[in-house]
Structure 1
Amino acid sequence: MADLDASTPRVFIARHGETEWTKNGRYTGSTELLLTPDGEKQVSGTASHLVGSKKLVDPERLVKVFVSPRKRAQQTFTLLFEKEGLKLDDASGKVVLEEDITEWDHGMYEGWLGGEIRSSRKERGVVGEKGEEEWSIWRDGCEGGESPQQVAERLDRLIAKIRELQRPCMNGEQAADVVVVAHGMSLRCFVKRWLGYPLDMPLALMLSPGAIGILSYLKHDIEQPAFFVGMSLPPL
């Protein structure tokens, strides 16, 4: 099983570490926040265990790293890969700042708590497109920000790029792993679109700040994208 894990191209999704707004649950899109000291420790801890030669995320096996342009994502990338010599201005073009994986544009909800959004909508008599009074970002999007369709469209563009990179390497012809460094909401959306699900499909996903998740394909088949519930790790 370990050989199958390594030979089929993988996509590692890395969430940025904790920020002050991550701690209290505020919707954070375009606001530029840096990691807290604990957030830096989260990412550094992940890097020490999982990133490096012969480890789960081996820089030698990477063909591309897509990083959200937000500062918290760039900082996370640096903490993950600084000891491996991989930099944002990498001359090889292996590292790309990718606007399509940035966080959901929350519009007027930027910096709000979920309860504040729901209270405001109720007070103003705002209902969803289908008449629902209870707000769901997955269905209703954000006033003055992005709709689920807009988020899905840009994530689909990125997924198409990744599939083209990995398509020629489905049977281990060469290493073709990809890393995506981004945000809690955009990465959960990314997983849904990777699997071909609409964003409003109920699918409870958890990705801790500073954590890494894994996507790949069933049976070496690019038409069967899959989510790793668990996988074997390389020996130390």
Structure 2
Amino acid sequence: MTTQRCIIVRHGQTEWSKSGQYTGLTDLPLTEFGVRQMQRTGRSIFRDNAFIDPSKVTYIFTSPRIRAKQTIDLVLESLTPEQKAHIRVVVDEDLREWEYGDYEGLLTHEIVALRKSRGLDKTVPWNIWRDGCENGETTQQIGLRLSRVIARIQNLHQKSMDAGKASDIMVFAHGHALRYFAGLWFRKLAVEQKCNADWERANPNSYKDDTVPYVQLDTYRYLNDNPFFLLDAGGIGVLSYAHHSIDEPALALAGAFVPPPEEESQHGEVGK
């Protein structure tokens, strides 16, 4: 039985990722280094080391920002037109970076100083995962939209599992958003919230692709503390499932490396 994977890719280096400035809605391109970085990554994962079989990549979900879409083009550059043809690219507004509001373009120490000048954080230090951003998004807001993306991806994975087909789904997005995404994937790291308010139940129509069913959530998850995941610009992580079960989301510690089939079975059956 084939194990489905969700392969998360942070965009390559930009001027602000290099400097450490918080980059949400600001639409920056990659640096020259970032371009070369992602070209090398694409050659490595698809051609030189063959960590990912392009024939198994069914969808790419991406943030609408230039830096994410540019990264996709560079990573796929080593594939043939025939290999690219069957991969559907879905631009999803729900995958945008955390909206930083007043903190856009600032460094962490500048944010801390700004909040102090406004009389905040008198008892505990600022924690974006708990406190969110002034005039930007709360942790509940980003948690809801990333929960919607995860529901869509896991629904597609379930359909491919039921059909006995392989499905690697790649997700191209941003540093905070992807670490948050991974935290929600594991469920136990997050708080579960019922969708009671109108804004929680609304369908934002964040993407346009008839082959991706919209999943209406009754509950969603959000973080209230740092998940302590690292993902540098250009970094790749692999999320999957234990025992071939959508109900057992897991981290693939081997990353993009795929072991030989005869070594792949220890998590394939319940009870093993």
CA distance in 2, matches of 1:86, 1:102: 28
Structure 2 equivalent of residue 217 of structure 1: 241
CA distance in 1, matches of 2:118, 2:35: 40
Amino acid at match of 1:19: T
Any residues of structure 2 matched to 1:113-132 within 5 Å, and which? Answer: 113-127=107-121, 132=123
Contact 1:52 1:59 in 2 (8 A): no
Work out whether 1:228 is the aligned partner of 2:222: no
Contact 2:68 2:174 in 1 (8 A): yes
The CA deviation string for residues 44-66 of structure 1, in whole angstroms up to 9 with x for no partner, is 11111102599222221112100
**Which one has more relative contact order, counting CA pairs under 8 Å at least 6 apart?**
1
CA distance in 2, matches of 1:134, 1:184: 21
Give, in angstroms, the shift of residue 169 of structure 1: 3.2
CA distance in 1, matches of 2:16, 2:224: 24
TM-score normalised by structure 2 residue count: 0.77
CA distance in 1, matches of 2:8, 2:44: 16
CA distance in 1, matches of 2:31, 2:50: 26
Give, in angstroms, the shift of residue 85 of structure 1: 4.6
Tell me the number of residue pairs that the alignment of Structure 1 and Structure 2 aligns. Answer: 225
Over the residues paired in the alignment, what is the CA RMSD in angstroms?
A: 2.3
Residue from 47, 52, 56 that aligns with 1:57 = 52
The CA deviation string for residues 59-109 of structure 1, in whole angstroms up to 9 with x for no partner, is 21112100111000011000011232569xx88671011111110000010
Extract unaligned runs of 5+ from structure 1: none
Extract unaligned runs of 5+ from structure 2: 191-222, 261-272
Residue from 12, 21, 24 that aligns with 2:19 = 24
Contact 2:179 2:227 in 1 (8 A): no
**Structure 1 runs, 4 residues or longer, greater than 6 Å off:** 90-93
Give, in angstroms, the shift of residue 233 of structure 1: 3.3
Any residues of structure 2 matched to 1:100-111 within 5 Å, and which? Answer: 100-111=94-105
Residue from 148, 158, 161 that aligns with 2:152 = 161
Contact 1:126 1:133 in 2 (8 A): no
TM-score normalised by structure 1 residue count: 0.88
SS in 1 for 2:171: strand
Any residues of structure 2 matched to 1:151-230 within 5 Å, and which? Answer: 151-170=142-161, 173-196=164-187, 197-198=189-190, 199-230=223-254
CA distance in 1, matches of 2:95, 2:240: 18
Amino acid at match of 2:153: I
Contact 1:9 1:172 in 2 (8 A): no
Cα pair distance change 1:25/1:85, threshold 3 Å: same
SS in 2 for 1:179: strand
SS in 2 for 1:170: helix
The CA deviation string for residues 162-207 of structure 1, in whole angstroms up to 9 with x for no partner, is 1110113337811111000011110000000111122223431111
